[in-house]
A and B are shown apart, each in its own frame.
Chain A
Amino acid sequence: MVMHDIARDNPNAIEARNMSVYYGSFRAVKSVSLAIEKNRITALIGPSGCGKSTVLRSFNRMNDLVPSARVEGEVLFHGENIYAPGVDPVNVRRRIGMVFQKPNPFPKSIYENVAYGPRINGWKLSKRQMDELVERSLRGAALWDEVKDKLNQNGLSLSGGQQQRLCIARALAVEPEVILMDEPCSALDPISTLKIEELMFELRKNYTIIIVTHNMQQASRASDYTAFFLMDSDRAGQLIEYGPTAQIFQNPKDERTEQYISGRFG
């Protein structure tokens, strides 16, 4: 896919326009329009089942893996619709990476986990360049110091929090522009969670991060923008309110946002 920056100073990494997502005949997400700013952390919040994961997975065509899923509307990346005919989802996913709810390292060594992406991308790297890339990615994921002496150990031998940072390192290694994270901390303890949040702040210098979270505190302390979703009477998810995180949490415009946030905070 040829992707040219139509406007070099386009402030948006990804922009959804009137995006609806169906599973078979069920409309899970209804006409969402949402522009994600570059080098910022955007949190998607809302009650369970309101379509947050579906929206997130539509941003890098992961929903193509669900045979019944269908997307209407547009998702613009560098000004191009990633759902246009002729676009290869493989290329989309190489530039928009993903970290999942449950850590899912490959049953390979730590080194091989990180080297996997560059290898399949066909990057011609010498052994030394690959070593450097692996180190850089692991440092980027704040994992290097913990694993530098056991790069040949199986990735599954790490703790849950370490595994999740390994998955982040694995995503960083292909040098994506955007990283999608679907509740990356929900299976982790509070200390690992904090580490990942600190890491996100580091990463946003070079990457755009979109994170789904059910944890209000996490959204409020770790994101720049927040998008609040809710189901309508047909159980279709809708974007209710979107804005800077401080405004959404302290001064929501929509009554439903207010209710949801205050309900969660007790």
Chain B
Amino acid sequence: MAVTDLRRQPNLVQAIGERIIQIILLVAASISVLTTAGIVFSLLSETIAFFNEVSIVEFLTETEWTPLFATKKFGIWPLASATFLTSAIAMLVAVPLGLIAAIFLSEFASDRIRRTVKPLLEILAGIPTVVYGYFALTFLTPLLRGFIPELSIFNSLSAGIVMGVMLIPFVASLSEDALSAVPNSLREAAYGLGSTRFEVATLVVTPAAISGIVASIVLAFSRAVGETMIVAIAAGQNPRLTLDPTVPVMTMTSYIVQVSLGDTPYGTIEYYTLYAVGFTLFIFTFVLNIFSYWMVRKFREVYD
């Protein structure tokens, strides 16, 4: 065969087709980038408007949040602490249970069980959060009050627990991906030294998958921070600076819901608080995502 036969034959139709596909892809990519930039920009401009009227110092040092009262105070901590508290409770539930489920699925379950349970988990992750919210309010809280009589109707404990349950499949599924990505050669090495199955799972495979596991935990935490319906329904509407899980509190997302549901006139300070809180939330999750990205990079093991 002559060398020239290997050259690409000019084909106008094909060339134009490829060009069009390239353009479509470029437009699609630009739309998503531009949308994100637009969101950040609008968030930022309204937040700046807020901070023209309220000082950043007050926002960060004041311990009360009363923008809808006569004496307005704008301290973010009551909302931030509630967000942190409910998320922390959720993580206490989701991380251990999600990890155990992941390790079981990846290292102990037979292929058949894995193939049935994994899709099931993903369905569980698709239940609307409003369902979880009412589950917390009408089922878990009454149940918990049997053990903790002083528990308020609205509290961060049951909201946090149910949010944790919601996140179990999330942690389990992502961590399972990380565990099953560990090359089999490592398992063989461990078995070859006389490891039991349990030792292989806990001492070799889990540490080798740690970057993916941590990433799944951080992502779950960032979802807990941004979760809205469960806390709005079950955790209460009372901004207060506390780490007591039995009393009503108000998370940043609950506040946004509360104000958005009322008819807050455009341009008022109440209106701008929405953006200030939203922006704080955005910073929170942004930092978490950066952190998880950094963890993955730092601890990713290179297998050739």
Contacts and interface: CB of A to CB of B under 8 A. Distances in A.
A45 interface: no
Nearest to B200: A120
Contacts of B191: 62, 65, 93
B194 interface: yes
A174 B193 contact: yes
Contact of B193 (A91, A107, A108, A117): A117
Most chain B Cβ neighbours within 10 Å, of A95, A102, A104, A117? A104
B195 interface: yes
B192 interface: yes
Interface string A54-74: 000000101001000000000
B302 interface: yes
B277 interface: no
B185 A120 contact: no
Interface string B170-187: 000000000000010111
B204 interface: yes
B188 A94 contact: no
Given A108-B207, A121-B194, A156-B301, A65 B189 contact: no
Nearest to B182: A107
Contacts of B185: 100, 102, 104
A56 to B, nearest CB: 11
Interface residues of A, number: 27
Interface residues of B, number: 21
B185 to A, nearest CB: 4
A170 B183 CA distance: 18
B193 to A, nearest CB: 4
Contacts, number: 69
**SS class of chain B's interface: helix, strand, loop or mixed?**
helix
Interface in A67-92: 90-91
Contact of B302 (A94, A156, A167): A156
B173 to A, nearest CB: 23
A65 B208 CA distance: 20
Given A107-B208, A107-B301, A156-B302, A117 B189 contact: no
Given A104-B185, A106-B186, A106-B189, A91 B194 contact: yes
A91 B192 CA distance: 10
A201 to B, nearest CB: 22
Contacts of A167: 189
19 contacts: A65-B187, A65-B188, A97-B192, A104-B188, A107-B207, A107-B208, A107-B303, A116-B193, A116-B203, A117-B193, A120-B193, A120-B195, A120-B196, A120-B199, A120-B203, A167-B189, A170-B189, A171-B192, A171-B193
10 A-B pairs with the lowest CB-CB distances in the bound complex, closest first: A94-B194, A98-B192, A107-B301, A104-B185, A117-B193, A93-B194, A104-B189, A120-B199, A107-B208, A90-B194
Interface of A: 60, 62, 65, 90-91, 93-95, 97-98, 100, 102, 104-108, 116-117, 120-121, 154, 156, 167, 170-171, 174
